[in-house]
Amino acid sequence: MAERTSSVPNGNGHTTLFQSERQRRIVALTHEAGRAEVSELADRFRVTTETIRRDLSDLQSQRLLRRVHGGAIPWETTGFEPLLSVRADRHAAEKRRLTMAAVDELPDTGSIIIDSGSTLTRFAEAIPPGRTLRVVTNSLQIAQVLSDHEHLDVIVIGGKVRKNTMAMVDAEAVDAVKPLTVDTLFISSDAASPERGLTTPYREEAALKQAMISAARRVVALVDHSKFTTDQFVQFAKWSDIDVLITNREVDPAVIAHIESTGTIVRLT
């Protein structure tokens, strides 16, 4: 039987969380603050420091956090991606705002590419039924989300599955995209800055995103405000490659002005 994730009152009148829910909250707190201390977590969840250390060891084995002296830091501070299930929980409200705005950018008919990622998975979930579109994606999760839409023709790009994102981004995926021409590409990014545009930690992923951009007549980027903090290893797009940027109002107005000066239309949510 799977472990429950609810909570129960203990004898002191406080609420004690089950392990899975406590660990989920530990991950969220660590990503929010950038670091979590064992003693502070023990006080917060009213458990022993030994229990918290076991939690952190479990989370490190799942590549969700990294243990450091006295606590933990997010796994991806080294530039590698967290699991998709973790990314989906981060900045959820902001991502919902982006995806609802992105629905307005869908063509009435024709073809689109949807890139992989947690934001774009939420976008796929928001696509209303009844649309008649051919949808190309490299994301197994997005393909599954759209498979129940009667009028969507869903095409999955082949290649090796990257397990932490459930997406194909290798050379085979690039070769599958190159011959295509689609009306609109919906793409996201691990990082963004006014100077370097959109960047990712992975060269293979950058190559696939560049192929997608070349295949599209129009490019719509969904990038929440948390991505405007640092550049990643490889640039895959300049702002002049992006027709529409959908982002949050929390982004610095000076950054927005710079992006608009390149000709990109910016929609704030």
Q: Count other Cβ atoms within 10 Å, centred on residue 228.
A: 20
Asked whether residue 83 is assigned to any structural domain, the reply reads no
CA-closest candidate to residue 194, choices 105, 116, 255:
255
Domain range for 119 is: 90-268
- Residue with the two structure tokens 């660590």: 30
**pLDDT value of position 260:** 97
Q: How far apart are CA 187 and CA 200, in angstroms?
A: 12
Residues 236 and 146 in one domain: yes
Identify whether 1 is part of a domain: no
In terms of Cα–Cα distance, which of 167, 185, 179, 176 is closest to 236? 185
Residue 85 lies in a domain: no
Q: Beta-carbon neighbour count of residue 130 at 10 Å?
A: 9
DSSP label of 154: E
59, 66 Cβ separation under 8 angstroms: no
183 and 236 part of one domain? yes
Q: What is the mean pLDDT of each run of 10 residues along the chain (269 residues)?
A: 41 59 87 83 94 92 84 66 49 80 94 95 91 96 93 94 87 97 97 95 94 98 90 95 96 96 96
Same domain, 70 and 33: yes
Pairwise CA distance, residues 239 & 104, whole Å: 21
Q: Are residues 156 and 191 in the same domain?
A: yes
Those residues whose C-beta lies under 8 Å from the C-beta of residue 32, and which sit 6 or more positions away, are none
State the total domains in the chain. Answer: 2
Quick check: is 82 in a domain? Answer: no
My answer on whether 37 and 69 are in the same domain is yes
